[in-house]
Structure 1
């Protein structure tokens, strides 16, 4: 590369040294740079690239169309942090998928953002599915990012637990927690493939699902009413009508979801929406929701419709049971509000202390509170985590709900071990203490406990020596 640029009279070695020094402290990019090479957004360099008709093997940017496809050309500003897809994570254009069209990309962008000019920010683009160390106290656990992608990662985490606890050995009704401490890297990848496939297959109603992967080719040219992002326009869609073949394909391409720089979370989200189909997504949502992502504090967060889609396979925008036909005053609504129609494998619990004073705490229905398996995605003060039990019969035998353990994983990097919480539904001493001291119980009881009590009202909760941190 140095030799090539050195032969070009518009770029000197002194210029390269100066630019290189500006990025030398960005250690996390060094591996990507070493694989991809440095490219700079400069008129002279761009002309040089164009003259050579450089084919993009993964860098950000877009170029002019060719006769069969649009070949992307990498370029970025030397004063901004670049984001590149490593070559190994771009699949061959001849793999056999269906290239995305401009019309489909426009519809996809609208269902996500409500506009074709919005694109994912850096936090979303860099997010992927990464496990903690194999054979460790958290070998079953995914690392969760801050911001909007955390929601998706923790839903997938819940389905990873479903596979490890209840699918891998389906004939066993109760697992020993120790099995989660002995997960190898190979098992991690298998569990991730099973989790992703399971969510996609449910969204496709057990009939048809899609997987989206980024290829080297760009399949449509830039237009005035669509903002290019350098990966959506390079998608191929792979269709599956058999769950086993779907899971096998995802397992073979698992690096496209777990590798650094893979856009793994975005690819899974795209696959989810195409599996549900854009037409059914519009039918799922009511007049309260028009798109699935919402801008909050500079980042895109998942709306409830997207959360419900991942949990139940249907993008209903509300957490109550069934469809609501009447308002609080008994008046017939112009259009029904869509809630959850059936129990899913993974449940959902919600708590937000900021909404208590305003009486805005949504009432999660029994369909989500009582799932088929004892695994819950928890939305606690707008931060997502998981609660689970290893006994499949916990929710089907009321006697087992007298005294039992729940395991808590927050997804936060600071958590190094799974927290074991002992739940006693017959003891109500916590309520006695609440009445003896005036004030908001939330100020004296951890949010995790208050979340659990939305399912088991009045339960006493023992942290078993762990200092409450959530």
Structure 2
């Protein structure tokens, strides 16, 4: 049986405490490991690029924190870390509505929400694990020799590399820290207000676990690792180092751009895909596609959590069926700058497709412009994709029947009436949807809460395009004929 005591690796092998504060429990055994330090340096470069902007790093410096008004809703304090927070929230909601149904959202206890959060994190890590689980942490307690690395001690203000603090101020604060006796206490990173990006990276440590049960136990007993100043970033580093940096790089089609935008701080699509599926591919279509001889990797199987985006309506990408039709009725929603979460307790929203729904999806895959018709010369390909009769002679007969006026197009309705006259739906005509946006300022009253709406799927295939309603526009990429009324009469924000 493997030991449940984690093996600890310091990023900077020169910093090892000879003593541990008597006030706290003994640290796990410290072991120098240049390979672990090297991996963390590579992760830093892959995430941030050669330099880290002070303001971007600061926006990402937050822990996992729940809303005061919605017990299970995570709060995103500033723009940027939604690439981690929204997928984590999506998996938490999946656990809540699919694995433990029957809870009233407002009556969830703090312990229950924390437990579901840890379960969500462990689910994401399980998708990324190739050999063992490697948890990145900052030491909750460290001896006096390491306090310069953390750049903060008790009430002494932090000095940020690259900030506007003068050299004289930095020298005075450093001298003040050095003058404190070694028995003055220990640095608690979870309580620290802020450290520089350099100090953060120099203080990282890696804990090795063999099983996901050990990881869950560690996070349960060390909640401050997740809730402290750098909880979100620490989990992101944990995902990447558990996945193994070489595996991440092999899945990326382009490593010239960092996973976090160095100016605006938002996460790339590859980072979002990694958090949702465990694979750091850059595209959202189904499987791999050959574009001009270049193999571009997409989503390779039906995802547990879905993804839809306003960018598809703007023709910037094509979201495949594996994302639009996930295993659970939970979708991360993308706007131009932010990620939110859509979810429902209606399990029929993810029921297996009926033959007629499959036919509509395949037909529309040959109609990327959304015109509800296809060129007549691709009819044979559509029939073949649906395992229908597709011999040339038969296809020619059907082309004349479906296109009697010789316009060289096949209308969707004509195709469905011919091949699937008794069309059936697996999706109900009416259902409730709920929406989460983690930024307080994007919620009514500046308090993060879930918005609820009643949706109806109209009979017509014609959709109303409303540029002033990005929410509806995004929903129509999944349900083209949807209409929805939000209960509080306020359309939720995607930004």
TM value normalised by structure 1: 0.67
Q: How far did residue 280 of structure 1 move?
A: 0.2
> Equivalent of 1:314, from 273, 279, 288?
279
Q: In the alignment, which residue of structure 1 is the partner of 2:77?
A: 145
Distance 2:246 2:74 in 1: 32
Distance 1:395 1:271 in 2: 31
Q: In the alignment, which residue of structure 2 is the partner of 1:272?
A: 239
Deviations 1:389-411 (A, max 9, x none): 11334311543432211111122
Structure 1, unaligned stretches of length 5 or more?
1-62, 72-86, 170-174, 435-440
Within 5 Å, which residues of 2 pair with 1:328-407? Answer: 331-333=292-294, 336-352=295-311, 360-396=315-351, 398-407=425-434
Q: Measured at CA, do residues 166 and 91 of structure 1 come closer, stay the same or move farther in structure 2, by a change above 3 Å? A: farther
Query: Are 1:214 and 1:232, in contact at CA under 8 Å, matched by a contact in 2?
Result: no
Distance 1:303 1:185 in 2: 32
Q: Measured at CA, do residues 249 and 186 of structure 1 come closer, stay the same or move farther in structure 2, by a change above 3 Å? A: same
> Equivalent of 1:421, from 453, 457, 472?
453
Deviations 1:342-375 (A, max 9, x none): 12211111004xx86xx54311111111111110
Q: In the alignment, which residue of structure 2 is the partner of 1:235?
A: 204
Deviations 1:96-133 (A, max 9, x none): 47566442332122211232676784533531110013
Query: Are 2:466 and 2:473, in contact at CA under 8 Å, matched by a contact in 1?
Result: yes
> Equivalent of 1:194, from 119, 130, 134?
119
Query: Are 1:124 and 1:265, in contact at CA under 8 Å, matched by a contact in 2?
Result: no
Give 1 or 2 for the bigger CA radius of gyration.
2
> Equivalent of 1:212, from 133, 136, 144?
136
Q: In the alignment, which residue of structure 1 is the partner of 2:218?
A: 249
Query: Are 1:350 and 1:380, in contact at CA under 8 Å, matched by a contact in 2?
Result: yes
Q: Measured at CA, do residues 304 and 91 of structure 1 come closer, stay the same or move farther in structure 2, by a change above 3 Å? A: farther
Deviations 1:306-345 (A, max 9, x none): 00000000000111111112x2xxx322xx1111111221
Structure 2, unaligned stretches of length 5 or more?
1-11, 151-195, 353-424
Higher RCO structure (Cα 8 Å, ≥6 apart)? 2
Q: Measured at CA, do residues 153 and 442 of structure 1 come closer, stay the same or move farther in structure 2, by a change above 3 Å? A: same
Query: Are 1:100 and 1:236, in contact at CA under 8 Å, matched by a contact in 2?
Result: no
SS in 2 for 1:294: coil
Query: Are 1:140 and 1:188, in contact at CA under 8 Å, matched by a contact in 2?
Result: yes
The total of aligned residue pairs comes to 353
Computed over aligned residues only, the root mean square deviation of the Cα atoms, in angstroms, reads 3.4
Q: How far did residue 146 of structure 1 move?
A: 2.3
Q: Measured at CA, do residues 251 and 111 of structure 1 come closer, stay the same or move farther in structure 2, by a change above 3 Å? A: same
Q: How far did residue 144 of structure 1 move?
A: 1.5
Q: In the alignment, which residue of structure 1 is the partner of 2:477?
A: 454
TM value normalised by structure 2: 0.64
Q: How far did residue 418 of structure 1 move?
A: 2.2
Query: Are 1:200 and 1:210, in contact at CA under 8 Å, matched by a contact in 2?
Result: no
Distance 1:429 1:400 in 2: 15
Query: Are 2:59 and 2:78, in contact at CA under 8 Å, matched by a contact in 1?
Result: no
